[in-house]
Structure 1
Amino acid sequence: MVSIQGLRARFDDLFLPLHGAHQAQNAAVALASVEALLGEAPLDEELVRAAFAEFTSPGRLEVVRHSPTIVLDAAHNPHGAEATAAALEDSFAFDPVVGVIGVMGDKDYEGVLAAFEPHMDHLVVTQNSTPRAMSAEALGQVARGVFGEDRVTVVPDLADAIDRAAALAEAGQAFGDGIGAGAVLVTGSVVTVGEARAMIRPVGRDRNAGGS
């Protein structure tokens, strides 16, 4: 639930079916942009409520499977990774969290890894299918320097990497207390997340988080 002071009016207790404080900030920008484009008249409150309730953001903290939960987020720089990590802590209670990361070679991949390291119990390193992708082996070497040898598994094929991570998440006792439900976070690149999304039919297709 969010409350937004717009350019023309204030809207309280809007239901936003997305996860993370940064998503609420994005929604506020969207609302203000519409107000600026449409002139001086305030927006109809019921229309705003209906629009917010239908918001989707594919590939942005999008839950696409349960048992174990698989979440997609296209964070590809340190700032985005920090926002995603904060949202994970704020919106979910996953234990353990197993990451699947595939990055582009021209990005700050070490900064992305450092942002996620405190929030992931194990990391499965992979790669997407584009020529710009950093190889899983090369990324794995960097990841071991950030996460440590025992917390990194290298699986070049993305589909196999997701399967391996799901198995690790279900075997959560291996990483600590295992008192919560394990989850997989697929991240590191818009392309990686897009390819993963094509492999996994999202829960309530094109919904950010819905029923099972």
Structure 2
Amino acid sequence: MSPVQKPAPAATLSDWLRYLESIHATAIDMGLERVREVADRLGLALSGVKFVVGGTNGKGSTCAMLEAILLAAGYKVGLYTSPHLIDFNERARVNGQIATDEALIEQFQAVEAARGDTSLTYFEFTTLAILRLFSQSRLDAVVLEVGLGGRLDAVNIVDADCSIVTSVDLDHMDWLGDTREKIGFEKAHIYRSGKPAICSDPSPPQSLLDHAAAIGADLWLFSRDFNYSGDRQQWAYGGREQRRSALAYPALRGANQLLNASAALAALESVRELLPVPQQAVRMGLLQASLPGRFQILPGQPAVILDVAHNPHAAAVLAQNLDNMGFHPYTHAVFGMLNDKDLAGVVAKLGSRVDHWYCAGLPGPRGASGEDLARQVGQALPAAPAGGENPSVQAYADPAAAFAAARERAAENDRIVVFGSFLTVASVLQALGRKA
């Protein structure tokens, strides 16, 4: 992409984002040297307790719960997540409020002035801008979600007071490696010497354990250092020295949310001398945490479920959550997926649960047409059992068209599952006139 002209003083946020997409030769360029150099020129210094959250799946939910609990405890909190669903502004929240266009443009201008001839990717540039916004906001705590991996992700220029790795599974293998051990090594590099290092993956890779030991991190492992238990009414967290009982289930739905919640509570226990959190704040925060697109069930009939699941691990969790919903005569899947993802692995986890596939084309160089996607889904679906019926598979230009077709065909007691990519969920949300 050829560079777009540098934004004028009156440029809009959209103008800036178009410019930032054009200024580096590649969208992803792993490494910290360039981003650290510009951070030094900006004099970035974050106040408050810094949480860095990485992992294949679950990191967005863990971030949302940390933010909600800390806000309920009365702290001033900054939250950085990516990617966004509809508006870029969703990536930055200060005290629970999404950053305004004006606030972001001011930071973009500062980063542009500081970078000089140093080339930055869109993600690196915007990360620096949001970190600078947080540095000027007098925060008590900052929660930062890692974009890709950990070791070479721009967020890793921040020395965390507490780091969390939620899960390690196969995704972004072109960048992070093709085994859990290689990916675990990359993610473990958000840990810091002498600082709490939380891992909520029930079976962490040895590479993660070895790196934590090598740097002398204070490693907290699920089932060894913290755990949870529960019944139909409530659940309890148990940590090294702290127990929190009689907790309501998180507002975020899904089978893995107690695992994510326990990671958040372990992180808070590990820094309790810096950020004490009363029990009532935990209760309120868990009930108030929200995260669009993570097993989000929209009101009305037929049931519409939105989930950004885009790798086999996330698809397995989605399948479990669908199984827990109770009986629906037919399941309609509005499915759009980027072409560098493990489509066969995702379809294998969900194939037997879907009766009708509506395959949607996605834009951009990593997108595929609906026809290509439908062909791949047809090849990946397991053969129907003897006497059984194969699912229908149809192609559509985009997720909005696929969703419209699913709505037309679905009966009142059926369910429609929209999944496969952030782009897919965002497109349907926009078609419904909803904000993220």
Q: So what's the TM-score if we normalise by structure 2?
A: 0.42
One-letter amino acid of the counterpart of residue 312, structure 2: P
Tell me if the contact between 1:100 and 1:162 (Cα under 8 Å) persists in the aligned partners.
yes
Give the C-alpha shift of residue 96 in structure 1. Answer: 1.3
Which runs of 5 or more residues in structure 2 are unaligned? 1-233, 384-389
Amino acid paired to 2:398: D
Mapped pair 1:170 → 2:411: yes
Cα deviation, residue 97, structure 1: 1.1
**Which position in structure 2 is the counterpart of 1:62?**
296
- What letter corresponds to residue 11 of structure 1 in structure 2? R
Which structure has the highest helix share of the two? 1
2:401 — aligned with what? 160
Matched residue SS, 2:253: coil
How many residues end up aligned between the 2 structures? 195
In the alignment, what sits opposite 2:237?
4
Q: Which amino acid aligns with 2:252?
A: L
What is the letter of the counterpart of residue 3 of structure 1? A
- Contact persistence 2:400–2:427 (CA under 8 A): no
Q: Which runs of 5+ in 1 are unaligned?
A: 172-180, 207-212
Q: Contact 1:8–1:40 (CA<8 Å) still a contact in 2?
A: no
**Equivalent-residue separation in structure 2 for 1:130 and 1:13 (angstroms):** 47
With 95-104 and 4-13 compared, the bigger mean Cα shift is at 4-13
1:48, 1:75 → 2: CA distance? 27
Residues 32 and 91 of structure 1: is their aligned pair in 2 closer, same or farther, counting only changes over 3 Å?
A: farther
Partner of 2:268: 34
In structure 1, the residue matched to 2:422 is 190
Structure 2 residue identity aligned to 1:190: F
Tell me by how many angstroms 1:42 deviates.
6.1
1:172-210 alpha-carbon deviations (Å, 9 max, x no partner): xxxxxxxxx2111000112211222222255xx76xxxx
Q: Which amino acid counterpart does residue 168 of structure 1 have in structure 2? A: R
**Alpha-carbon separation, structure 2, partners of 1:118 and 1:146:** 11
Whole-Å separation in 1 of the counterparts to 2:326 and 2:283: 25
Larger radius of gyration: 2
Contact 2:354 2:391 in 1 (8 A): no
Cα distance change, pair 13–133 in 1 and its aligned pair in 2 (3 A): farther
The residue aligned with 1:132 is 366
CA–CA separation in structure 1 for the residues paired with 2:337 and 2:343? 7
**Distance (whole Å) between structure 2 residues aligned to residue 198 and residue 123 of structure 1:** 21
The two structures, once aligned, show a CA RMSD in angstroms of 2.2
C-alpha distance in 1 between matches for 2:362 and 2:270: 39
Kindly report structure 1 stretches of 4+ aligned residues shifted beyond 6 Å: none
| TM-superposition CA deviations, 1:40-81 (whole Å, max 9, x none) | 886311111011110112100001342212110000001110
1:78 is matched by which residue type in structure 2? P
Alpha-carbon distance in 2 for matches of 1:19, 1:91: 11
In structure 1, the partner of 2:316 is 82
- Residue identity opposite 2:423 in structure 1: V
1:72 corresponds to which of 296, 306, 327: 306
Relative to structure 1, the CA distance from residue 32 to residue 98 in structure 2 (aligned partners, 3 Å threshold; closer, same or farther) is same
Structure 1 residues 40 and 187, CA gap change in structure 2 (3 angstroms):
same
Say which of 94, 97, 103 aligns to 2:337.
Answer: 103
